[in-house]
Amino acid sequence: MGRIKYYYNPETCRYERVKTRTIDVIINLLGFFTLSLILAVGLTMLYGKYYKTEQEIMLKKENEELLLHYELLNKQITEANEMLKALQHRDDNIYRVVFEADPIPTSVREAGSGGSDKYKDLLKKGLKQEEIIIGTLKKIDQLKRKMYVQSKSYDEIAKLVKNKSKMLASIPAIQPISNKELTRLSSGFGIRIHPIYKVAQFHPGVDFAAPHGTPIYASGSGTIVKAEYMGGYGNTIIIDHGYGYETLYAHMSAFKVEVGQKVKRGECIGYIGSTGFSTAPHLHYEVIYKGEKVNPVYYFFNDLTPEEYDKILKLASAENQSLS
């Protein structure tokens, strides 16, 4: 039985019994429950912050592993894109140039593979990390699209190869001297310091340093159209390969062919010398396409591995002095 409470009433000068109203009881109970609830929530949050359950620990570990997998996947996608970019550059600037095919427009290579509607089934599932997941899927789809375009380009190149076997045998495609160690390329295509005038001049070919008398080979099949002394070039041979291609071999010590003679790729046409404007025995070699002198390094694709080709590209781009 609960206690009976009284209070002193100054108006009646008597002690009167305290009457408890139902609303007061309800308010007190609500206050008690509210305070208890706040305290319980606070303790739960505090406990959850500092004391993890076994399930929470496992979930955290799984999340960390998933994040690591995501980072590795993104890294692999980036690396694959870089490799594909190198293939695209080689395709547009070497293979398609060689076979006189137009480069593939960037708009085609970079074309998308569908909007967000493609992933609407995933969106319906209400994934918490849908932005990361869908972003990664889009990157993969774009990479697959680029790979598909590149594969179709190679299919086209393959057809050109079949139709142009004669052209393949004719166009310049090897280095004009033996250079297995890739140590003889002494000067590349572009602006260089002239060895005699000591001023910056455009160097329209590449130089190969080699001992006097080293054999020089035709870089493609064709017809000898010049074999004579040509001023600063010294003893020079020019081969007409057809299909708009010519090659020039300068500073030779001696000729092994004559004008009008047909030669095959790899056939010896003369020997290294230092005639004309030259400071040391070497071969000055040019590739001329439709009257325009182009970088010969882009045509050393028949006797080099991809690794050797990359190396000789770097050697040709180095700021070394021309010998002629």
What is the C-alpha separation between 248 and 260, in angstroms, rounded?
A: 15
Over residues 86-144, the pLDDT tens digits come to 777 777 777 777 666 777 877 777 766 555 566 666 555 555 666 777 777 788 888 88
Is the per-residue pLDDT at 61 higher than 70? yes
Long-range Cβ contact pairs of 77-85 (< 8 A, separation 24 or more): 77/136, 77/139, 77/140, 77/143, 80/143, 81/143, 81/146, 84/143, 84/146, 84/147, 84/150
- Higher-pLDDT residue of 273 and 92 is 273
Find the farthest-apart pair of alpha carbons in the chain and give their distance in angstroms, rounded: 145
Mapped to the 3 state alphabet, what secondary structure does 166-178 carry?
A: HHHHHCCCCCCCC
- Higher-pLDDT residue of 82 and 213 is 213
What is the C-alpha separation between 185 and 180, in angstroms, rounded?
A: 11
pLDDT at residue 115 in the model: 54
pLDDT at residue 314 in the model: 73
Q: Which residues contact 259 (CB under 8 A, 6 or more apart)?
A: 224, 225, 226, 227
Over residues 275-314, the pLDDT tens digits come to 998 888 999 999 999 999 998 888 887 777 777 777 777 7
Say whether 251 sits in a helix, a strand or coil: strand
Beta carbons of 157 and 94 less than 8 angstroms apart: no
What is the DSSP secondary structure assignment for residue 296, as one 8-state letter?
A: G
Q: Tokens 């972003």 belong to which residue?
A: 135
Q: Which residues contact 8 (CB under 8 A, 6 or more apart)?
A: 14, 15, 16
Comparing C-alpha atoms, which of 179, 221, 181, 186 is closest to residue 205?
186
Q: Which amino acid is at 32?
A: F
For residue 109, report the phi and psi dihedrals to the nearest 5 degrees. Answer: -65, -35
- Higher-pLDDT residue of 96 and 145 is 145
The pTM is what?
0.49
Beta-bridge partners for 217: 268
pLDDT at residue 286 in the model: 94
Beta carbons of 108 and 152 less than 8 angstroms apart: no
pLDDT at residue 272 in the model: 95
Is the per-residue pLDDT at 268 higher than 90? yes
- Higher-pLDDT residue of 308 and 38 is 38
Mapped to the 3 state alphabet, what secondary structure does 15-69 carry?
A: EEECCCCHHHHHHHHHHHHHHHHHHHHHHHHHHHHHCCCHHHHHHHHHHHHHHHH
Comparing C-alpha atoms, which of 124, 308, 164, 129 is closest to residue 245?
164
Average pLDDT over residues 221-234: 95
Is the per-residue pLDDT at 25 higher than 80? no
Mapped to the 3 state alphabet, what secondary structure does 76-91 carry?
A: HHHHHHHHHHHHHHHH
Worst-scoring range by mean pLDDT, 119-123, 184-188, 219-223? 119-123
With cut-offs at 50, 70 and 90, classify the pLDDT of residue 71: confident
Residues of the chain above pLDDT 90, percent = 24
What is the C-alpha separation between 74 and 84, in angstroms, rounded?
A: 15
pLDDT at residue 188 in the model: 76
